[in-house]
Structure 1
Amino acid sequence: MTETIENPTKNRRRVPKAGRGAAAAPVSGPQPARSRRNDRVLVIGGAPRVDLLPPEVHANRRQRATGRRAWAGVVVVAVGVGLVAGWATTERMSAEQDLVAAQSETTTLLQQQGQYRDVRTTEAESALLGAAQQVGGSTEVDWSATLQAVRAKLPAGVQITGVTVDSASATEAYAQSDDPLQGQRIATLTFDAKSAALPSIPDWLAAVGTVPGFVDANANSVALADDGSGYAVNMTIHLDEKAFDGKYADDAKKG
């Protein structure tokens, strides 16, 4: 390759040397232009400055470069999709294995439970029976203990000759009195007693007021006994929910 550069001595004016012993003649006026051929230097090995390739070659090169970049993007996307698909497949296989293990464990547990089916049935029936007893016995009154408490509060020498009881049931509410002065009750105890002496009814009423579940009491009648051995008294005592024995409820709490 060759390159022509400008001569650094361009436009320099040369002054002719004077002859020996002669003075240099002054230079005046414009100097004739030298040939540009003498003002350039030929350089060998420089970079080419002229592109002789047709435009179609450059366009083809650009298209191929663009195609290579596009295919590189496609390869990157394909690799990413493959990685994601592989991860999803691994997760799916792991989930399927966990599901199979859980199903196997469930089957084993069901088989073990089947061995104790009779025990579970018995337990369910026992629980149902206990609940039924608790509901049915929720309105029970320990009448033996209640009569013993009433007898202990009566004066000495008084003998109970007859007893009538009436209480609520598990399915029906107890009938209440129409008298607004009487309290709510769940049971009624009516008894006949014989006293050798004329009884003091106010003292009797005050004495039975400490019976568990006591609401109120009244003397229905006081009369001379038919055989003349003393006096016959008929008395009624009303009881509230405190008179319930709560036996089955206590058993349920203990169980």
Structure 2
Amino acid sequence: MSQTTKTKPSRSARRRGAAEGDPAARVAAESAERAKRLSKTSPNDVVVGGRPRVDLLPTEVLADRRSRRVVRRMWAGVALVAVVVGIGIGAASLYAAQAHDELTDAQNETLSLLRQQAQYSEVRETETGTALRQAAQSVGGSTEIAWQPYLSSVRSSLPSGVEITGVAIDSATPLEAYAQADTPLQGQRVATLTIDAQSPTLPSVPEWLDSVKDLEGFVDATANSVTLDPTTGVYTVNMTIHVDDGAFDGKYQDKGE
């Protein structure tokens, strides 16, 4: 038993078959085929059967139109720049006006303060003179030592029966530094006291040297000599005492110094 194979016609064959019987269908089929062929062509291919278009305007007209568009854009840019510049100039003018007003106010306030200060010029001169005198006192009295109470302290440190008969004082001044010793192991000093004391008995020099250590600003003390007057039987002691800046009274110094 033989079998017969039937082949199904393609879509294009079906359209051609339908078009053979109907003219409208045939035209539609041809248009579809043409559109299909155009879609497969590249942009560089020549399109056959397309709608013809021709620009009949001269090249000068086209160039003029393009130049006009460029000119219009340029003028629009110029107008935009002018607007921005105008805004900047206005803002700068406003800022300058405000600065000028502030400067004028500051100058007026300065003049007012100067007029008020002029009313108290005498008071200011007095204050300046007072401050100058205080500064001079502070400098001039910076090396001052209250010698009367200091010598009273020295007298009270003497052993019983010993009396001071002479005192020589060499102290620093505000204008020049006090000369220091050249020998080693001697401390810095600002004044030197050379004392002569007499005693009816041989004084205890070590005891006296220990007692003067409690003096204000004491640095060191040295017994230079102990001599006996045979006619009177009185002993004379010569002693040197060095003191440092702890002995300054500081009465002319400011409280904060």
| CA distance 1:71–1:172, change in 2 (3 Å) | closer
1:253 lines up with 2:240 in the alignment:
no
The 10-residue stretch of structure 1 (198-207 or 227-236) with the greater mean CA deviation from structure 2:
227-236
Matches of 2:186 and 2:63, distance apart in 1: 116
Name which of 202, 211, 219 aligns with 1:215. Answer: 219
**Quick check: 1:231 aligned with 2:235?**
yes
CA offset at residue 111 of structure 1? 1.6
Aligned residue for 1:35? none
Q: Give 1:223 deviation, angstroms.
A: 3.3
In structure 1, what residue type is equivalent to 2:113? L
The count of corresponding residues between Structure 1 and Structure 2 is 212
The alpha carbon displacement at 1:55 in A equals 5.0
Q: Give the structure with higher Rg (CA).
A: 1
Cα displacement (A) at 1:140 = 1.0
Normalised TM-score (structure 1): 0.71
Instruction: Structure 2 unaligned segments of length 5 or more: list them.
Output: 1-18, 23-51
Q: 1:136 aligns with which of 136, 140, 143?
A: 140
Pick aligned residue for 1:101 from 99, 102, 105: 105
| Paired residue type of 1:122 | T
- Scaled by the length of structure 2, the TM-score of the pair is 0.70
Distance 1:150 1:175 in 2: 23
Tell me the distance in 2 between the aligned counterparts of 1:64 and 1:204. Answer: 120
Q: Match for residue 120 of structure 2?
A: 116
Match of 1:187 in 2: 191
Matched, 1:196 2:200: yes
Q: Which moved more, 1:239-248 or 1:213-222?
A: 213-222
Find the counterpart in structure 2 of residue 164 from structure 1: 168
1:88 to 84, 89, 92: 92
Give how far 1:199 is off.
0.9
Structure 1 pair 79/59, CA: closer, same or farther in 2 (3 Å)? same
- Calculate percent identity across the aligned residue pairs: 57
Cα distance change on mapping 1:62 and 1:181 into 2, 3 Å: closer
The amino acid of 2:173's aligned partner reads: S
Q: Residue 69 of structure 2 corresponds to which residue in structure 1?
A: 65
Change (3 A) 1:152 1:73: same
Runs of 5+ unmatched residues, structure 1: 1-11, 16-47
Cα–Cα, structure 1 residues 67 and 158, in superposed 2: closer, same or farther, change >3 Å?
same
For residue 129 of structure 2, the aligned residue among 125, 129, 133 is 125
Q: Secondary structure at the match of 1:185?
A: coil
Aligned residue number for residue 152 of structure 2: 148
Aligned equivalents of 1:55, 1:13: Cα separation in 2: 50
The residue identity in structure 1 corresponding to 2:128 is A
SS in 1 for 2:180: coil
Task: Name the Cα RMSD after superposition.
Answer: 3.0
**1:19-62 deviations in Å (ceiling 9; x for gaps):** xxxxxxxxxxxxxxxxxxxxxxxxxxxxx966665555444444
